[in-house]
Every structure is written in structure tokens, then in C-alpha cells.
Structure 1
Amino acid sequence: MRPADPATLYPQHLAVLCARADEALSRSGHDHLLIPSGRRHYQVFDDRDYPFAVNPHFKHWVPLTQVTDSWLVYTPGQRPKLVYLQPFDYWHVVPEAPSGWWVEHVDVHVIRTPEEALPLLPGPPSRCAILGEAQSTLGAYQPNNPPAALDYLHYQRSYKTPYELALMRQAQRIAAHAHRAAERAFRAGASEFDIHLAYCAAARQDATEVPYQNIVALNEHGAVLHYTQLDRDPPAERRSFLIDAGASCCGYAADITRTYAADPGGEFQAMIDAVDAAQQAMCAAVRAGADYRQLHVDAHLALMGILREFGVLRVSPEAALATGVSAAFFPHGLGHPIGLQVHDVAGFAASDRGGTIERPPGHPYLRMTRVLEPGMVVTIEPGIYFIDLLLDEVKANGHADAVDWARVDFFRPYGGIRIEDNVLCTGDAPENLTRPAFVAQ
């Protein structure tokens, strides 16, 4: 199946955003929506800037991720307006004139200095809902982030338009291609650092362009959930490889994790296969009406069943969950919303008027608590880890008898297992956005 063309989908996407903005402004009591792209942040006592991250609300409207000091302006009943900074600058590359599938649908005004935006912004500022960080303030136009508008817009961002899904599928293809390159580098004996370089080269994205810092972990480093140290030299023995790495497409993120064993016939590979099968069943449960909190609890039971099968647990999955032992082996949440941001907004939103759906007791790191609905995209990333700090807590809490420590010692040098796909909830069977991207490689 040929990928959808974003150019044909963008007008409908823009119409959806205008309708959402109309409602958000009505709720907040403002006349205009202003979204600054953002401004560069500089290191303290220096003139070196940090990597720029565009305002996600800005790139929701236009596929621009590297333009600073620009503004998206929307007034109900009018075409969206882009105030686009194209500075006179010989220190940096000047952004090219706006072009692409979206330009004909917005009114573009090119400025040469940030201050030239002021006469192009509607007023007075008090009548504007301005979404952004305080550093984006320009004159009297200071971001006010009205809660009534943000609650509504963040909640609605959970429902992806066909345009957004087209870009997210493309991000999946880029990331899957790079994951294949990373696996080849691992099989060839490369170091963590060199695997990371192979990934970035295949994705054609550097460390500031991928949506988050690559996690490239060999052996016991896989037990560090956000391992980004990247050893420069390969280990004396290759046992396992965990990679959590994504890619970006026009500001939309892919977030994919895979785990590999050096020995394809060993027990650790068998455990990876068991987690992979369980993970695919969890992806199949991403259905409209499913409570993500229950999916998370069910994931605990499934993973503890695997540990029981492999002789690591001596108690039932239910007992491991009830006593907190399961959290020592699966300490993070099942996943999170994904889209314009890797950990996208409104994962806990009770409604489009605010409020929070609390996490289940004993699961403080779950990033999604909502009931699934068509249009939502979530990650499904179960994991099993052998983390000394957490295993010591199992002993300290009086549950040492629940675990076969000899089996823990066997698996500890492998670090851990995590398998992650990005899944679209539909009105029928879910669509796994990630698996087809790997098949296409």
C-alpha cells in the first residue's frame, strides 16, 4: 500500500485545527490565538545555545521545526497567518523561504527581525490566547496559556487527523530502517557509540533531530531504563542489546524499542520471544473502550507469568502483583500517548475541561490513564529487567522467598528486555504502526 500524501490531507487537518481553535477561544474568552514558535535558550555565562525545540502547538499547524521567533496567528473566520522570521544573518544558515504542501493554505508574512512581528499581531494582547513559554514574550505579548484553552486543545490533540497519521507512519518507516542498521552493527560487534552512529546515519537524523536521546545498551546496561552513556569500546563479550530509539517526520515522533540476544538459541532469546508474543497480544488489546490502566495491570500479570515460566518467580503472577514484587521486574508504565511529542499531552486528562484520572495505587510511573478512543495513538512497551536496586528492595520488604535468586543471577548479565510498538486505536481492530514498517525493510 502506497503511503498517503500529506499534501492531500493537510487542508482537512487545518480545518480541524481551526474548528478546535474556535472552540478553545470561546471557552477561554479570547478573540485571537497566537502561538510563538519559540526562542533559543543560551547556556549560562556563554553565548552557546542549546538545541532548539519548537513549540509543539506551532508545529501542529505548520510543519516547521527549526524556525525561531516566528508566530502562528489565528482569528476565527480568517485564514491562519504565519509570521515567519528570515533574519539577515551571516553566523547561521538563514531559513529558506516557506515552501511545500502547506504554504498555499496560510497567509505568510516574512520578517527580518523578531520585533517586526509586533505590527502583524492582533491586539490588544489581553484579547489574545498566547500559547508558549515565557521566554517567547515579545513586547506586551506574553504567553498566558489560558487553562480553558489548553485543556481543550491538549485533550483534542489525542485524536490524530489523517494528515498526522501519515506523518507518523513515515516516522515509523525511518525509525525501522535505522533499527535494522543498528541490529546489523550489534551483530558485527560494534560498540554502543558506534551502534548509535549507525542508527543516526541510517535515519539521516543527528542526535538533535531524533525525537529523544537514543538508548543503546549492551549487556547489563539494558537494566538502566534510560541508559544513554554509550561506551566507546565494545564489551569483551556480547550477550544482549536493547535499543530504544525513534525518528521524526515534520515534527511527529516514532518511539520504538527492540531487544536482541547474541545467542539466538539461548534462554535469553527464548525470554525475548515470550515477551514479544505477550507484547503483540497487548497491542491487540488497544481497542476503543479499553481502560489503559487495566491494560497496564494486565501487562504486569502477563510478564510475571513469563518470569514464572522461566523459573525466576516462585509465586503466582497475582501474588507478585499484590505484593509489589512485579514492580521490581517491570518498574515503568505500559506506555504513553505519542504524536507531536514523544510523551504527548493529556495522558491523564479526565475531560476537555480539565481534571485528572489518577494512576492505580502502586504504579507511580504510568503515563496514561485514559479510556482509549478511536484516533488515539499510544505506545505499548512492556519490559522485564534485572535491576539490583529494585531486587534488593524485594529482599528488604520480606519477599525474598518469591524469587529464585539463582535464576536472577543467570539473567542479570543480560540486563533486560523491552519491546515497544506505536499503536493506533480505531473503531475496530487496532493498527500497529510499527510492525509493518519493519516488514517493509
Structure 2
Amino acid sequence: MVTILRMRNVIITVIVSSLVLTAGCGEYLGGSSNNDIEESTPAQTATSEQPSTEISPTKQATDTKTEPPTEVVTDSDGDGLTDSREQELNTDPNDNDTDSDQLNDSEEVEVYGTNPTESDTDGDGLTDGEEVKIYSTDPLRADSDEDRLNDSTEIEEYGTSPTNNDTDSDNLTDGREALELDTSPLSADTDRDNLSDSAEVKRLETSPTNIDSDNDGIADGPEINKKDLYPGADPMKKDVFVAVDYVEKVDAQKREEIKEKFAEAPVENPDGSTGITLHIYWDDTLTCKDAVERTSGVGPIDYSCVTTGDTSDLEGWETNPDVVFGDTHTGYYSTRIVSDIEGSTQEGASIAGFASEGDTAFVEANTQNLGAVFTHELGHQLGIGDVPGHGSSVSYNQYSSVMNYNSPSGTIRFATDSGPNAKSDWEYINESISSNGRPAETVVAEDSR
């Protein structure tokens, strides 16, 4: 009985010892064969066969990657450029328009390509903002339309378009007109002669700044475009037109001689030639009529048969509705060859003709040497007035002119030298024909209607 109890105590002791070893030596048991232990405890199964999916806070912090801190983007002036970018550009991060040109810094950099620190990028005198917002010019080019005038010069000095190189559309660029030709880039016809500047410069070679290039009293436009009124006219060579109402014509040979003297005149023309072209237009044939009482002066005037040498009534005659003169044209000199002129000179000689500068000339048809008298009176119309030789005080050798009363019968010539202290006949004529009371402006106004 005692032996049995001892054996039971031993077995219990062994079992208890095994349990103690099992609880304290898990690693060792984990390496034992299955023959030693038939079944694992729940703790052993969780530890050795099914790892837990839960991660402790410490391990989680260790396994997560560390991200760098997010950069803060700052645009202090709200112009679309970051402060760091403005530092690169040398612009003011606290002013959205650093150069005060009415374009913000971002627009200048990203849209227009202009300098945000320079208000006038192209240096043309206009701010970048003015070019973009007001004038639609190129802020990167000083001469937007490439006409050789910079943008501000066109706007402020000439009033031309900085975006159109030919503001007046005359086929001459604004720059050429302003810098070379001295014409107006705002007017296609600078001198108002009814010829465009382009036509005068490129085709006609007349002056685009002088209404009357040859200074003969007839504007360039009518000389070119009014060939019915001015046949044979040349705007680059002086012309004199004479309309004659007559009871008798000057002999054809004498007419040609008169024209030849004008053609040989020592008068310079714009085309490099010399001389004046004389055009004689035989207008109306005069017929006799009853005498007409004048409103002033003494004695009657019969238009075709009898008139008077009193020149004070010339204007009255021309406005008197009872006296029917022949047609006249703007730009023409008017001559009347009548059958007789009453009166005599201070020396007692019969008056063969009379005229004064710019007025109608009267010539007596029955006079001897009609061609010479016609030329003499034309000389008065063309500006030769009280010159040496009048009154028979100077010899013909001293003053060789048809204007000299001592000239030989039938003389047809004007003096090229009137002495050391006087102008020559041709100098008087040249000065007179440029105006003669009928300025070229009047010719244009009347003949272009």
C-alpha cells in the first residue's frame, strides 16, 4: 500500500515537472518532435503558426516613410508671379506693376515679352501700356509700321498712324513724305493742285509742294488735266495764254516771230530748259454795233469800231452789260483788236493801243505794224511798266526793246539788259506771270468744278 502511494507521488511529480518545463521553455518545446507532445496549447498555436496582423504603434512609426514639408507659394502683390520668381526678374514683389506702365508684371513677362522693369521697352517714347492699350502698336518695336518714323513721332509730331505706313493712302510712305519730300503725310495732294503727291513725284516730276511748279500762274493740275482749256501746256515749262477778240488778226508770220522771241527768252524752267511758250488763241470775231454810253468818262465807246485811250474805264467796260466782250478763260490774258481807238499821247501821236499789268489790252487794227503794237501792249500786260525808253527819252541802242518808243518800225523783241540799275524786260515778265492778279489757286478752284 505504501509502495503504491509512493509510485503515485512520483508520477505526479514527473507530470508537474513536465508542466513546469512546458510553461517555461516554449522555444525548446517548439523544437521537440510531435511524438513528445500530442497537441499544442492555444497560446503556442497563435505564436508559432498564425502571426498576428496587428502592428504596434512603435513598429508602425518605424515602417512609415517621412515626407518633406510642403513649400508655401507666395505672391504678395497678386500679379501672377511668385515672390521668388520676382526676385529672379528683379521686379518688386510688393508692386504688381513694377515699372508703372499700366501692364502688370505677369502680363509683361508671359503675354507681351516686354521688360517689367522698363516702362518703355522699345525706347520709342511711348510706354508699353500706351502701345498695347491705346495705340495698338508693338511695344517691342520703336517703328511699328516700318515707315522710318518712330511711333511717338507719328502720334505727337505728325498726327499720322503708327500702324499704317501710308496714312493718306497716296502710295508714298509717311516717312518718305516727312523726311525726304517735305509733303504732308496726312494729305494725298499736299499742294492742292488736283494732282496726287505720288503722281507728281513718280510720274510727272512736278513739285508736290508747289501748286504751280513752273510759276507761270497756271496750276499744275489744270495744265495736265485741262488740255481743252490749256492745249499744249507743260507744268514744267512756263506758258503764257492770250485770248484775242478781233476785227483783224496779226499776220501769221509776225505771230510766229513773236512766239519765237518768247521761246528764246532767258528764263529758266524747272525741267532745265529756258524760254516761255506763248499760246495765242483767236477767240471771237468782233462786229460793229451802235455806240454805248459809258457810265463814266467822256465820249461813247463802240466795241468793235471806236474806243478810247482812257484806261481808267477798263473795269467799267468789262462789267458793263451793254458791252459784249469775247469769252475769256481763267489763266488767260485778254486782248481786244478793235478798229479804232480815240485819243492821242501827250506828244500828240495817235494812240495805237493801251494796257496795264493784268488788264485787258486794246490794240488798234488800222495801225501800222500791228504785230509790234500787239507785242508792246502784251509787254505791259506782263509787267513791263514805266521803264527807261518810254517818252522817247532813251535811244534804241541804250534800250533795245519793243517797249522803247524809239524802236525801229516793226521791232519785235524784249530787252535782255535794261541797264545797270534796272531789270531786264524778261525779269519783269518772269516775275509778273507767276501771279498777274490770277493766282494759280484761283485757276484750280474755278477749273476743277
- TM-score band w.r.t. shorter chain: under 0.3
> Larger Rg: 1 or 2?
2
Q: TM-score, length-normalised on structure 2? A: 0.21
Q: TM-score, length-normalised on structure 1? A: 0.21
Structure having the higher strand fraction is 1
Quick one: higher RCO (CA 8 Å, sep 6+), 1 or 2? Answer: 1
Structure having the higher helix fraction is 1
